[in-house]
Amino acid sequence: MNALPVARLQFATTTSFHFLFVLLTLGLVTLVAVMQTRWTFGGKPELLRMTRFWGRLYVINYALGIVTGIVMEFQFGLTWTGLSAFAGDVFGAPLAIETLVAFFLESTFLGLWIFGFGRMNKWLHLTLLWLVTLTAYASALFIMLANSFLQNPVGSRVENGTLRLDDFGALFTNPALVASLPHVVGAAIVTGGFFVVGVSAWHFLKRTTEVEFFRRSMRLGVVAALVGSIFVVNQGFAQFGELAMYQPEKLKTGGVGLPLGLMIMLGFVMFLGALLGTLLLIRNWITKARFLHYLMVAAIPLPFAAAIMGWLVRELGRQPWLVWGKLRTADAIADVPAGQILFSFIAFSLLFAALAVADWVLMARVAKRGPEPAEAPAELPVLSGV
- Does 19 score more than 60 pLDDT? yes
> Across residues 336-360, what is the average pLDDT?
86
- Does 9 score more than 70 pLDDT? yes
Q: What average pLDDT does the chain have?
A: 86
> Across residues 148-174, what is the average pLDDT?
89
pLDDT at 385: 46
> Across residues 20-49, what is the average pLDDT?
92
Burial class (CB within 10 angstroms; exposed 0-12, middle 13-18, buried 19+) of 264: middle
> Across residues 1-17, what is the average pLDDT?
86
Burial class (CB within 10 angstroms; exposed 0-12, middle 13-18, buried 19+) of 347: exposed
pLDDT at 32: 97
- CA-CA distance, 143 to 166, in Å (whole number)? 20
Compare 53 and 256 and report the one with higher pLDDT: 53
- CA-CA distance, 372 to 125, in Å (whole number)? 20
pLDDT at 256: 67
Compare 329 and 247 and report the one with higher pLDDT: 329
Determine which helix (DSSP H) or strand (DSSP E) holds 159, and give its type and residue range: strand 156-159
Q: Residues 114-141: pLDDT tens digits?
A: 998 888 899 999 999 999 999 999 999 9
- Does 175 score more than 80 pLDDT? yes
Q: Residues 213-225: pLDDT tens digits?
A: 999 999 999 999 9
pLDDT at 255: 56
pLDDT band at 252 (very low <50, low <70, confident <90, very high): low
> Across residues 349-371, what is the average pLDDT?
88
pLDDT at 264: 87
Mapped onto helix, strand or coil, the DSSP state of residue 327 is strand
Determine which helix (DSSP H) or strand (DSSP E) holds 162, and give its type and residue range: strand 162-165
- CA-CA distance, 307 to 192, in Å (whole number)? 13
Whether the full predicted model's pTM is greater than 0.75, yes or no, is: yes
- Does 253 score more than 60 pLDDT? no
Q: Residues 67-124: pLDDT tens digits?
A: 777 777 777 777 888 888 898 888 888 888 888 887 788 889 999 999 988 888 999 9
Q: Residues 262-284: pLDDT tens digits?
A: 888 998 999 998 998 888 888 77
Q: Residues 183-235: pLDDT tens digits?
A: 999 999 999 999 999 999 999 998 887 888 999 999 999 999 999 999 999 88
Q: Taking the C-alpha atoms of 248, 80, 327 and 164 in order, what is their torsion angle to the nearest 10 degrees?
A: 110
